[in-house]
């Protein structure tokens, strides 16, 4: 998310004990209410009971699979390789993984002639060995494109528009093509809008022109026509102007035939008067789904905030 994101979160949780449970990369169509994945209402069926569990506490992944929910987590390649307890916890509790930084430009392509595939490869191999899905994150981190986290210094220094476009689009094709059939969904563009309103975030990608987002989606689709392609945004549920701007933007992309299949919501539900109720987010989800796209909660945390009520935190997660 970056430092600016952390500052924004602190605005709603200043002086509190966060006790945050972040489920980063919840690579699921987790629709909060009981909406189905399809945009067509499904017939109501009796709920499927969870499979038998002989343990005192059933693993989270067991409960998620029983309900058809993808439950994902951000993972770190080094920790997976060196910390058996960490790796075991991932397998027990999640059905999908999202590389935290291993697929970002700053790690993946440290120089124009060097690709650092090893860390990302190891995460994909771990997922395949343990029957886990993988969410690719991210092909373009717009809000941090001027920072080391978003683009490496060498690429930020490419000011010629056509040279910059070539590097970016070739990079998308190379990355998505390498994992074709192995990573089935991608956050193509991450945080393209200003955190707190409906304005587009200024970024290095502007060198490609105003339609660069459509170009990025087209390049990803060409590299893997079967992959599900997503726009991932933060605080959409918190600021109505931003929600409306994203709804309008996604509708325009869909109307033009741009291959966008989903919208990810980075969801931070601090327990303060300013924060939306978890249940109210279902309205935003419904509006997005009406455009013909899937919706996923790609980040989720409920800091205690000034209410300092663990029961309220539990109730919010339950919703």
Active site residues: 191, 299
Please tell me the distance from the alpha carbon of residue 28 to that of residue 96, in angstroms, as a whole number.
8
CA dist 38 and 290 (Å) reads 10
What SS3 string covers the chain?
CCHHHHHHHHHCCCCCCCCCCCCCCCCCCCCCCCCCCCCCCCCCCCCCCCCCCCCCCCCHHHHHHHCCCCCEEEECHHHHHHCHHHHHHHHHHCCEEEECCCCCHHHHCCECCECCCHHHHHHHHHHHHCCCEEEEEEEEECCCCCCCCCCCHHHHCCCCHHHHHHHHHHHHHHHHHHCCCCCCEEEEEECCECCCCCCECCCHHHHHCCCHHHHHHHHHHHHCCCCEEEEEEECCCCCHHHHHHHHHHHHHHHHCCCCCCEEEEEEECCCCCCCCCHHHHHHHHHHHHCCCCEEEEEEEECCCHHHCCHHHHHHHHHC
Q: Which of 171, 80, 168, 173 minimizes the C-alpha distance to 130?
A: 80
Phi, psi of 232 (to 5 degrees): -115, 125
- Asked if 271 and 319 count as a contact pair (C-beta separation under 8 A), the reply is no
């Amino acid at each position: 998310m970056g430092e600016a994101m952390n500052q924004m979160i602190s605005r709603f949780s200043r002086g509190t004990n966060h006790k945050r449970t972040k489920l980063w990369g919840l690579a699921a169509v987790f629709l909060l209410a009981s909406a189905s994945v399809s945009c067509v209402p499904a017939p109501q069926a009796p709920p499927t009971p969870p499979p038998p569990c002989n343990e005192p506490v059933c693993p989270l992944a067991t409960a998620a699979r029983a309900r058809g929910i993808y439950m994902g987590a951000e993972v770190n390649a080094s920790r997976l390789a060196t910390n058996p307890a960490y790796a075991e916890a991932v397998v027990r509790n999640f059905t999908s993984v999202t590389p935290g930084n291993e697929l970002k430009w700053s790690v993946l392509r440290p120089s124009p002639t060097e690709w650092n595939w090893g860390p990302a490869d190891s995460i994909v191999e771990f997922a395949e060995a343990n029957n886990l899905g993988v969410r690719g994150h991210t092909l373009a981190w717009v809000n941090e494109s001027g920072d080391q986290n978003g683009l490496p210094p060498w690429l930020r220094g490419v000011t010629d528009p056509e040279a910059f476009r070539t590097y970016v689009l070739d990079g998308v094709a190379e990355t998505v093509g390498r994992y074709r059939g192995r990573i089935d969904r991608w956050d193509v563009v991450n945080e393209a809008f200003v955190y707190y309103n409906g304005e587009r975030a200024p970024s290095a990608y502007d060198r490609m022109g105003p339609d660069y987002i459509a170009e990025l989606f087209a390049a990803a689709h060409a590299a893997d026509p079967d992959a599900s392609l997503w726009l991932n945004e933060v605080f959409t549920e918190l600021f109505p102007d931003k929600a409306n701007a994203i709804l309008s933007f996604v509708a325009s992309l869909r109307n033009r035939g741009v291959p966008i299949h989903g919208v990810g919501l980075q969801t931070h539900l601090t327990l303060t008067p300013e924060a939306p109720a978890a249940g109210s987010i279902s309205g935003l989800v419904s509006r997005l789904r009406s455009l013909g796209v899937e919706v996923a909660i790609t980040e989720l945390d409920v800091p205690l905030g000034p209410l300092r009520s663990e029961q309220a935190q539990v109730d919010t997660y339950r919703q």
